[in-house]
Amino acid sequence: MAQHVVAITGASSGIGEATARELAGRGSAVVLGARRTDRLEKLANEIRAAGGQAATLAVDVTARADLDALVTLAVTEFGRLDVLVGNAGISKIGPVADLDVDGWQAMIDVNVRGVLHGIAAALPVFERRRRGHFVTTVSTAGLKITPTMAVYGATKNAVRTILEGLRQESTEGWLRTTSVSPGYVRTELADSIDDPGLREQIRTNMDRFALDPAAVARAIAFAIEQPTDVEIGDITIRPASQD
């Protein structure tokens, strides 16, 4: 039997992909959601070829029904869902004065509503088994507020607040929540930045000192693998050279 059954949003690249590889390598069955299904299929095939278990689904986290389908797939394929890693995210950073209202909307839709859709889909399933774990990828951008990252950081802090609230409402002992705050991680996240100057700046930082996404994946695995009565609430993980 699988160690854990873990659904992961944003599993087609970066931290989500690394988390899928890490958890599958440790014996979990992984259920992979994102929009780029070609990437998901390739990853799932690699996991299966290495002896692991994986299923894939086209998921746009802005659509509630897609998260319902992801959770249903976990249950039909692997009999249960133990963990939902709400990881999909975009980073349309820029100064507030740029008034990028569409970018703000997109970040709120993916980074906040996307995680809420996952909670709405998985919580009833967790409640029936009286067991479940929400892990979400927030950011150090919500801990150290920096120019150009106000709205991005705000979406991450909204999610941090939602998970902490859910934690406080769920003290019967069967639900765990974990917010992982990475600093710079070498992924494709900069592709979602529309401002060319800022995109280059973030890419340069990623090339200079960012963490390998596998480091974040190991932190997520650490939280998941604790005994069920142990809740790792927050993890901050950044390059040792990040200010």
The angle formed by the CA atoms of residues 122, 138 and 15, to the nearest 5 degrees, is 85
Please check whether residue 58 is in contact with residue 35, taking contact to mean a CB–CB distance below 8 angstroms. yes
The 8-class DSSP code of residue 210 comes to P
53 binds ligand NDP (CB under 6 A): no
The residues in 94-153 that bind ligand NDP, with binding defined as CB under 6 A, are 110, 137, 139
Closest CB to ligand NDP among 16 and 103? 16
CA distance 121 to 114: 11
Residue 232 CB, nearest approach to ligand NDP (Å): 17
Residue 16 CB, nearest approach to ligand NDP (Å): 5
Please check whether residue 137 is in contact with residue 182, taking contact to mean a CB–CB distance below 8 angstroms. yes
Closest CB to ligand NDP among 229 and 243? 243
The residues in 61-80 that bind ligand NDP, with binding defined as CB under 6 A, are 61-62
Out of 41, 46, 60, 234, the residue judged to bind ligand NDP by CB under 6 A: 60
| Residues labelled catalytic | 152
Q: Which stretch binds ligand NDP (CB under 6 A): 85-93, 125-133, 168-176, 219-227?
A: 85-93
Please check whether residue 85 is in contact with residue 220, taking contact to mean a CB–CB distance below 8 angstroms. yes
What is the end-to-end Cα distance of the chain in Å, rounded?
Answer: 43
Out of 7, 9, 133, 176, the residue judged to bind ligand NDP by CB under 6 A: 9
CA distance 154 to 142: 6
Please check whether residue 194 is in contact with residue 92, taking contact to mean a CB–CB distance below 8 angstroms. yes
Please check whether residue 6 is in contact with residue 28, taking contact to mean a CB–CB distance below 8 angstroms. yes
Residue 72 CB, nearest approach to ligand NDP (Å): 17
Closest CB to ligand NDP among 14 and 94? 14
Closest CB to ligand NDP among 71 and 185? 185
Please check whether residue 27 is in contact with residue 223, taking contact to mean a CB–CB distance below 8 angstroms. no
3-state secondary structure of 93: coil
Out of 4, 6, 14, 149, the residue judged to bind ligand NDP by CB under 6 A: 14
Judged by the rule CB under 6 A, the positions of this chain that interact with ligand NDP are 9-16, 34-36, 59-62, 87-91, 110, 137, 139, 182, 184-185, 187-189
